[in-house]
Amino acid sequence: MKRLCIFLLIIILILGFNFSGLAKEKVTLYTSVPQSIIDNIKKDFEQKNPDIDLEIYRSGTSNVLAKLYAEKESNNIVVDVIWVADFSIYENLKAEGILYPYLSPEAVNVPQVYYEPEGYYYGARLINMVLGYNTKFIKGDDIPDSWKDLLDPRFKGKVGNSTPERSGAFFVTAGAFANNPELGWDYFVELAKQNPVLDSNTGAANKIASGELVMGFVLDYSIRTMKDKGSPIDFVWPIEGAVSVPSPIGIIAATKNLENAKRFVDYSISQDGQKEFAKNGFIPIRKDVDPPAGTPDLDDIKLMDIDWEWMRENYSEIIQKFNSILIE
């Protein structure tokens, strides 16, 4: 009896320690990149760096940040690299001393506009907020070409989008719209009358694909993947402009795996990494890597102007204003 107990205890401990991953070198990434895509990236990265284990925590941008701050508060930082969708966040993180400046050798191949000059963060993928629609229900003349098409009363209750609180990319979108002379905050006031369904970006895309919604704000790369699988969904680049977010990646200053973190950053902006991202539907930040098939050249698409500084300074206000229009 006694021996049985000891035996069981040992088994439990062994199993338990397996989970502490004491085995290989590792680097921990917190990201808002969708699970399936980040898994592909992880496979590719680990294949090219077989001595490193890439551990991933994936959730919405706000959850990721919350986790980061929680760890900071309890003096127990586990994360090494952070990769979410909102440029302005990174300015805040840099100001708070949370990021580590690293000048990657790959930086020379990246357009300067896409990374912070001291290496605090690098844009790793270009994701774009575009207008998605269901191809079963929306055909011919109904196919939209402007953000204003979402305001068509016919589609009341059948449009959807995310929120700035939940999605970094949508935060940037809201900020861009606010400053856009053709749209402004008034756009969202009108949008509120449509009773839009609020969900995550992927959630909105799924609902459009399923027919629960007919149109909405979506991210280009996810639509590409769904289209390939056969889902009845497509998107357009609206005439007022899409919102382009260079979802950046940064190393956490308190990291315990600095070298491995550096290697992941290098990978992300290297040709190999960017090729893998392109395979998963992301538009690469490097000119020497082909974008996904069917993507127009970024120089040919209309993109909205983005005032990053303004957005960073008015972070809470933008969120609150949006909430007051669309949620309360």
Partner 1 sequence: MKISKSKSHKNSSVILALVAVLILIVLVVYPLYSLLLRAFISEGKLSLHNFHKVFMTKDIYVALSHSIFVSTISTVFATIIGVTLAWIVSRTDIPYRKLIKTGLIMPFLIPPFISAIAWLQLIGPAGYVNSIYMTIKQTWNPLFVIYGKWAIILVMSLSGYPFVYLTTLTGLEKMNPSLEEAGQISGAGIFTVMKDITIPMMAPTIGAGAILVFVSRIANFGIPAVMGMSANYYVLTTKIYRLISQSFIVKDAQSIAIAMSIFLILIAVCGLLLVKIYLRGKEYIVVSGKNVQPKFVNLGKWRYVMFAIALSMIIITVVLPIIAILLTALTKAWGLLPVISNWTLSNFRYVLFDLDMSKRAIRNSFFLAVSASIITTFIGATIAYMVVKVKVKGSQILDFIATIPYSIPGTVFALGMILAWNKSIFGKLNIYNTIWIILISYIARYLAYSVRTISSSLMQIDNSLEEAARISGSNRIQSFRDIIMPLIKPSLFASWFLVFMPAFRELTISVLLWSTGNETIGVAVYNLQEGGNVTASSSLAIIMVIVIFLGNMIIKKVTKGEFGY
User: What residues line the site for partner 1 (CB under 8 A)?
Assistant: 1, 5, 8, 12, 15-16, 19-21, 28, 30, 34-36, 39, 42, 55-59, 62-63, 65-67, 69-71, 73-76, 78, 134, 137, 157-158, 165, 197-200, 202-203, 205-207, 209-212, 214, 226, 229-233, 327
Minimum distance from residue 236 beta carbon to partner 1 (Å) = 18
**DSSP annotation string for 230-296:** T-SEEEE--TT-BEEEEEEEEEETT-S-HHHHHHHHHHHHSHHHHHHHHHTTPBPSSTTSPPPTTPP
Q: Can you name the residues that pair with 52 across neighbouring β-strands? A: 25
Minimum distance from residue 197 beta carbon to partner 1 (Å) = 7
CA-to-CA distance for 291 and 298, rounded, in angstroms?
Answer: 9
In the complex with partner 1, which residue's Cβ is closer, 71 or 272? 71
In the complex with partner 1, which residue's Cβ is closer, 205 or 278? 205
CA-to-CA distance for 124 and 106, rounded, in angstroms?
Answer: 12
In the complex with partner 1, which residue's Cβ is closer, 29 or 278? 29
In the complex with partner 1, which residue's Cβ is closer, 119 or 203? 203
| Angle (CA) 296 299 304, round 5° | 100
Minimum distance from residue 213 beta carbon to partner 1 (Å) = 8
Minimum distance from residue 164 beta carbon to partner 1 (Å) = 12
Minimum distance from residue 218 beta carbon to partner 1 (Å) = 11
**Residue 55, Ramachandran bin (φ over 0: left; ψ between -120 and 50: alpha; else beta):** beta
In the complex with partner 1, which residue's Cβ is closer, 134 or 180? 134
With a CB cutoff of 8 Å and minimum separation 6, the contacts of 185 are 177, 178, 321, 325
